[in-house]
Amino acid sequence: MVSFEPLFASGHHEIKMPSSRNKNTTLTADDKPLVWVDLEMSGLDINQDCIIEAAVIITDGNLNAVDNGISIPVQRSKAVMDNMNEWCISTHGLSGLTKQVLSSPYSPQEVSGVCYEYIKRWIPDPRVAVIAGNTVHMDLRFLEMDAHKEGWSQIASHLGYRVVDVSSFKEIARRWYPNLPLKSKQASTHRAIADYGIIYSALDDIRASIDELKYYKQSMFKPTK
């Protein structure tokens, strides 16, 4: 996880952005940018549950990342975390995310605002980039619905309506390239921690998804002349 040094200004926390080799560069429609998003939630009910961690990595259309991305735990109460289902309690407890959420100084509005500004910093023009991820439709629904009015919908509004879902490429490979070895995303959070003792973060999830799409790009698509 990218570390953030909290700075205090006007009663709020300022979250420092990751360093980049091209600080003055922005991506335009010609770059065909992708905004890779992985959200951890307290459950899958978009009306009741909430986002407890947000991670974002931005790439161009050729899957080159602009920097290391951001990943921020969202401050939530112990009551919210105790009310999660058994899978979430076990998984987020083992990964250490529950502890990070309970001790996070960053409110939901601060985290959504930072993610929005981070995306705008790299992609200032609206509806130029599309959301990307692995089975990312649920992440997009949480952003769009913004059931608790915490500012997440501004992120969805800045993105185009199309979606790049890596799991679709996997399913195409199963059907059209049956002899192609499938490149699986890394093991699930729970299995990775339980079986291998790996601390698995939302940024790890995104990086694995980018690597998986690179594999399908190289294996399934012929370059045009």
Cβ 183 vs Cβ 216: under 8 Å: yes
Query: In this predicted structure, what is the pLDDT of residue 35?
Result: 99
Query: In this predicted structure, what is the pLDDT of residue 96?
Result: 94
- Does 125 map to a domain? yes
Cα-based distances in Å from 208 to 1, 59, 61, 153: 14, 14, 17, 26
Q: Which residues are catalytic?
A: 161
The closest alpha carbon to 120, from 58, 39, 210, 37, belongs to 58
Query: In this predicted structure, what is the pLDDT of residue 1?
Result: 36
- Does 21 map to a domain? no
pLDDT bucket at 22, cuts 50 / 70 / 90: low
Query: In this predicted structure, what is the pLDDT of residue 222?
Result: 84
pLDDT in tens, 143-181: 999 999 999 999 999 999 999 999 999 999 999 999 999
What is the mean pLDDT of the segment spanning 17-33?
78
Query: In this predicted structure, what is the pLDDT of residue 177?
Result: 95
- Does 1 map to a domain? no
What is the mean pLDDT of the segment spanning 26-36?
98
Please report where in the chains the tokens 């003055």 appear, as a residue.
24
- Does 117 map to a domain? yes
Query: In this predicted structure, what is the pLDDT of residue 16?
Result: 55
What's the total number of domains in the chain?
Answer: 1
| CATH code: domain of residue 121 | 3.30.420.10
Looking at per-residue pLDDT, the higher value among 150 and 186 belongs to 150
Query: In this predicted structure, what is the pLDDT of residue 15?
Result: 54
Cβ 202 vs Cβ 38: under 8 Å: yes
Where b means 16+ CB within 10 Å and e means fewer, 97-123 reads bbebbeebebbbebbbbbbbebbeebb
Residue 135 has pLDDT above 70, yes or no: yes
User: Within a 10 A sphere around the Cβ of 22, how many other Cβ atoms?
Assistant: 9
pLDDT bucket at 183, cuts 50 / 70 / 90: confident
Query: In this predicted structure, what is the pLDDT of residue 206?
Result: 96
Could you list the residue range(s) of the whole structural domain that residue 147 is in?
31-164
What is the mean pLDDT of the segment spanning 81-100?
96
- Does 23 map to a domain? no
* Ranges 4-18, 136-150, 173-187, 197-211, most confident: 136-150
Query: In this predicted structure, what is the pLDDT of residue 223?
Result: 82
pLDDT bucket at 18, cuts 50 / 70 / 90: low
What is the mean pLDDT of the segment spanning 76-101?
96
- Does 157 map to a domain? yes
Report long-range pairs for 11-19 (Cβ below 8 Å, ≥24 apart).
12/110, 13/105, 13/106, 13/110, 15/70, 15/72, 15/106, 15/110, 15/111, 15/114, 17/70, 17/118, 17/121, 18/67, 18/68, 18/69, 18/70, 19/67
- Does 133 map to a domain? yes
- Does 170 map to a domain? no
Alpha-carbon span 151 to 148, nearest angstrom? 9
Cβ 110 vs Cβ 209: under 8 Å: no
Alpha-carbon span 186 to 42, nearest angstrom? 21
